[in-house]
Chains A and B, each alone.
Chain A
């Protein structure tokens, strides 16, 4: 089964080369999809191995696929598939000269994330995480506008600095391992409970590493790069970054947490992660209240969900399966939403919420999946985020962290209300009230967006499109097109809807993966 460890690294790399060299646009554009399929396929292979109690290793144990790694690899592949496949409809406005590098970088990005989750060596894991920054830097700056350049600069500076802090932490952990006689960065070795590691060093190293990786995970106060980068990157890239890159960073935090918990007990990181998680929820809540840009809205929602996952990680063992399920649910949902947001941005020409109105009437083809995905995102059943949140909250009270979870619930409510308000603002309304799509974004001042006067019709009376005032710029014929492939989005939403109800093998896999981290004795 060890070959399955090679696939997610080698095939995307090869495909990246291919898309750089190939002259066929079709081949080039399909290569990221193929990379995702490769990652997903090997992920599923490794999952089956993990379920059969095998732990494939490679390169002298440098790469290792336990249940957790296999699961994360599958998530990377699945979210990658949704983002890249769903992004196929995305029209690149960039000169063809750069198109090859775009597709190649996505493949490299996927390979880097795969490496990050497969590496048993935390140093290698760090290098892979840093490599994701490098791969995505140009993807964020892909549009080559001043804004995307700004986002890319912030992303690289803040991201690299953050990850550098993580490196400092890893260095300290390494230093601690020297004290035991055999210097190692192998997670497997370090997480053994009986290793005489120096507690002070591990404490500092763990704290710094978590702080560093928290930057990539988008946890406040290290989150500042995230809204800019996610809102400026092309939609599929945003989907990948938000859906899995954050999760991969969280994965790194979870691995580090296992090491520190074994040495200094769970309390220290528990406080740190709780503070980070709650702060993230707070930041997300505060900035969603008056949010004006729907891609930034999604970005802040990612911060919120990462905050919730961090709270789950803080709770520890009992909440870990819920956190892991959360990773999958959030990844798929957020990828779907980012893909959709890209399409809305493309057809409406503006990322301003005020400028996008009455979507449900004008463009049901986009609004309906958007609404379903939003329902999944804000935690309605049957979508799995519901189960994850409930699981985390119940576990939180059981673990005696009722206060933390209680504060989280208050913030979640604010976020819920804000997200609902913004979504309703985008989707509901009569078409006549919508701002014409042709208006340049800069011209649509938030307060000046026409709200129009719709004749008040009482309940029960018929409301037809003809009731609304016709607007010269808006076609009254609803646009039912999905503006891109629909199947990946349907698959993603269907998966999140049913996955929580599959006890076998998903339940077993989650349990095993949590066991890897010391959860569920």
Chain B
């Protein structure tokens, strides 16, 4: 019974992941992006859970819970706290929305092309969905390159990270648990550090515009 709806579930989850990523590129409001990130976290957790059920591994289910807690709840919450403290949260990205969305489309196509070559050797439904993960990585990178607010860059980084996690789960059912823990911890710490730095930035400059960080150059 589960096996029949498994592909649909995977498709649903990955679809949500890609949609949220694309929406993040489209939306300029930081708060909206954080909400989308939270949704993405839930979708990722759901994806992991689906894979876990399919493979029947308890360990993977545990990982799903972990992902839910970290990516769906903790990180968006931290970010939202930081964002609420600011008065102005809207983003004036370096790329206009139309161009950005077009780029997203291009990147998605590219990741499909690339993945079709790379994953030729791996069978299964999940592997077919893997391009979504790659696309998320690239979209995250695009967010990093185009966004001017510290918070938005953080979100970009998290999308990128989610993308990698997606690829990991879809291609290999995730990495070993202890490693997943380590990776999650690392990501969490990076976000915390960036959060602290964003705080320092605000206290020094009064805002979190990345563009003002241009004192160091040759």
Residues from 96 to 119 in B contacting A, C-beta threshold 8 Å: 114, 117-119
Bound Cα distance from A228 to B171, whole angstroms:
37
Report A440 CB to chain B, min CB distance, Å: 15
B186 x A134 contact (CB < 8 A)? yes
B175 x A157 contact (CB < 8 A)? no
Whether A123 is near chain B, meaning CB under 8 Å from some CB there, is yes
Q: Per-residue 0/1 for A100-139: is the Cβ within 8 Å of any B Cβ (1 yes, 0 no)? A: 0000000000000000000001011011001101100110
Give the contacting residue for B164; candidates A168, A227, A228; CB below 8 A. A168
Interface of B is mostly: helix
Bound Cα distance from A165 to B164, whole angstroms:
8
Whether A183 is near chain B, meaning CB under 8 Å from some CB there, is yes
Whether B78 is near chain A, meaning CB under 8 Å from some CB there, is no
Report A213 CB to chain B, min CB distance, Å: 15
A175 x B172 contact (CB < 8 A)? yes
Residues from 148 to 206 in A contacting B, C-beta threshold 8 Å: 149-154, 156-157, 160-161, 164-165, 167-168, 170-172, 174-176, 178-179, 183, 185, 198, 200-201, 204
B218 x A171 contact (CB < 8 A)? no
Report B56 CB to chain A, min CB distance, Å: 16
B179 x A131 contact (CB < 8 A)? no
Residues from 150 to 180 in B contacting A, C-beta threshold 8 Å: 150, 153, 157, 160-161, 163-164, 167-168, 171-173, 175-176, 179
Bound Cα distance from A36 to B90, whole angstroms:
47
Residues in B with CB closer than 8 Å to A172 are 118, 167, 171
Segment of B2-10, B26-34, B46-54, B196-204 engaged in the interface with chain A: B196-204
Determine which residue in A141, A157, A290 has the highest number of CB atoms from chain B within 10 A of its CB, and name it: A157
Segment of B15-23, B60-68, B79-87, B187-195 engaged in the interface with chain A: B187-195
B157 x A160 contact (CB < 8 A)? yes
Bound Cα distance from A146 to B212, whole angstroms:
10
Residues in B with CB closer than 8 Å to A227 are 216, 218
Task: Give the number of residues in B that approach A within 8 Å (Cβ atoms).
Answer: 43
Whether B137 is near chain A, meaning CB under 8 Å from some CB there, is yes
Give the contacting residue for B197; candidates A127, A156, A164; CB below 8 A. A156
Report A284 CB to chain B, min CB distance, Å: 12
A175 x B179 contact (CB < 8 A)? no
Residues in B with CB closer than 8 Å to A121 are 179
Residues in B with CB closer than 8 Å to A137 are 190, 193, 197
Whether A74 is near chain B, meaning CB under 8 Å from some CB there, is no
Query: Chain A contact residues (Cβ within 8 angstroms of B): what range?
Result: 35 or more
Q: A127-B179, A149-B200, A175-B172 are in contact. Are A161 and B160 (CB under 8 A)?
A: yes
Whether A305 is near chain B, meaning CB under 8 Å from some CB there, is no
Give the contacting residue for A156; candidates B137, B179, B194, B201; CB below 8 A. B194
Residues in B with CB closer than 8 Å to A124 are 179, 182
Bound Cα distance from A40 to B210, whole angstroms:
40
Smallest Cβ-Cβ distance to B216: which chain A residue: A228
Residues from 437 to 456 in A contacting B, C-beta threshold 8 Å: none
Bound Cα distance from A183 to B179, whole angstroms:
13
Q: A153-B194, A198-B122 are in contact. Are A147 and B200 (CB under 8 A)?
A: no
B182 x A157 contact (CB < 8 A)? no
Smallest Cβ-Cβ distance to A157: which chain B residue: B153
Q: A153-B213, A172-B171, A291-B218 are in contact. Are A127 and B183 (CB under 8 A)?
A: yes
Give the contacting residue for B193; candidates A151, A156, A198; CB below 8 A. A156
Bound Cα distance from A171 to B174, whole angstroms:
8
Report B156 CB to chain A, min CB distance, Å: 9
Bound Cα distance from A150 to B182, whole angstroms:
27
Sample of 11 further A-B pairs with CB below 8 A, known A124-B182, A154-B213: A123-B183, A127-B182, A146-B205, A149-B197, A149-B204, A157-B157, A170-B175, A171-B175, A178-B172, A185-B179, A204-B118
Q: Which 8 pairs between the two chains have the least Cβ-Cβ distance?
A: A175-B171, A127-B182, A150-B213, A198-B121, A175-B172, A123-B179, A171-B168, A228-B216
Can you pick out 27 interface pairs between chain A and chain B where the beta carbons lie within 8 Å of each other?
Answer: A123-B179, A123-B183, A130-B186, A134-B189, A137-B197, A149-B197, A149-B201, A150-B213, A154-B213, A157-B157, A161-B141, A161-B144, A164-B160, A164-B164, A167-B183, A171-B168, A171-B175, A172-B118, A172-B167, A172-B171, A174-B168, A178-B171, A183-B172, A185-B179, A204-B118, A290-B218, A292-B218
The interface of chain B, by Cβ under 8 A from chain A, is 114, 117-122, 137, 141, 144, 150, 153, 157, 160-161, 163-164, 167-168, 171-173, 175-176, 179, 182-183, 186, 189-190, 193-194, 197, 200-201, 204-205, 210, 213-216, 218
